[in-house]
Structure formats: structure tokens, C-alpha cells
Amino acid sequence: MRKLLTHELDRKSVEEFHQSEKNSLVVVLDNVRSLHNVGSVFRTADAFLLEGICLCGITGTPPNKEIQKTALGATDTVAWKHFNTTLEALAELKQNGYTLVAIEQVQHSVSLKDYGIKKGQKLAVVFGHEVKGVDQQVVDACDAVVEIPQLGTKHSLNIAVCAGIVVYDFISKLNL
């Protein structure tokens, strides 16, 4: 086996990305403070052709060199919008027919592996602050809460890692 060179990966141009049909998934960042996490989420959103990202509250926005360090140009491809509050973003998404899903540890959460998605379903997935998680009012506004099963001693994952796991799982289920 030979590792492929960059030009052999058949990646889309920025123009081709903009013209491509997107997956019906939007990421909502609820007061995420780390600009590196924001950049990583942009890169994940680009990799999976997501509809866009809602940047809420204190979450940083492009253009920003710290976001760019991890986004590596994905801020030029992925649609994004800033909202003063996450609840404003959720209200707009709900009005546009999205199912709102918080990723958090709560009573009666659904395990990621058990969360069912219908092909073509419009989803908005909410990731929270690195220390405080998804705000309780935001959790209350969501249609479902999904939790990633964890087996070790830690009780949380880095948001960029969490977003990668959830987005991959949701896109896999949406495209079955």
C-alpha cells in the first residue's frame, strides 16, 4: 500500500463545495470558548458536507487566526451564522423544521448507538461549553438528548472529538 498524495485525494474545490448538495445536519455551538475547538468543528463540518454551523453567545467567529489554525480553510466553505443566544438559534432552526438534539449527560438521555434517525431528517446537534456543557435551558428546548457512552474514568470528551464522533454517526445514519 502506498500513501496517497494530496493531489490524488480528489477533493472538491471551494466552488464545488458550495455547489454540492449538503447533508441535512447543522452544528450548534453553545458558548464554546476555545477557538481551536471552533476551528476543528468547521473542519469536521467541511469533511461531511454539513449545511452549516450556528455560533452562539461567546463562541468565536471567523475571521480569526486561532480558528483558522485548526479550520485550515473550512471557514471559506462552511456556512455559518452568529446568534447572541443559543435559544435564538434553536428557535430559528425549529421554525425551519429541524429536530434539535443536545449532546449532554442528563437523566434519560439516549445512547448515541441507540438514537434513531430517519433518512432525510433535518437535524441540529448542540455541543456545549467545555466546562459547563450544554446550558440547561438549551437542553430543555431540545427534542432529544444524546449521550456518547464512555468506559473510562473521565466523564467527558473534548468538544472537537465529541463533534467528530457524533457528526460521523449522524451522517452515517442519515445516509443509510
Question: Grid coordinates standing for 71?
Answer: 479550520
Question: Grid coordinates standing for 82?
Answer: 452568529
SS (H, E, C) 75-132: HHCCCEEEECCHHHHHHHHHHCCCEEEEECCCCCCEEHHHCCCCCCCCEEEEEEECCC
Give the containing element (helix H, strand E) for 18: helix 14-19
Name residues whose C-beta falls within 8 Å of residue 171's C-beta, 6 or more positions apart in sequence: 23, 25, 48
* pLDDT by residue, tens only, the chain of 176 residues: 999 998 889 889 999 999 999 999 999 999 999 999 999 999 999 999 999 999 999 999 999 999 999 999 999 999 999 999 999 999 999 999 999 999 999 999 999 999 999 988 999 999 999 999 999 999 999 999 999 999 999 888 999 999 999 999 999 999 86
Distances in Å between the Cα of 46 and the Cα atoms of 78, 108, 152 are 6, 32, 30
**b/e 83-114 (16+ beta carbons within 10 angstroms → b):** beebbebbeebeeeebbbbbbbebeebeebee
Domains in the chain with CATH codes: 23-146 (3.40.1280.10)
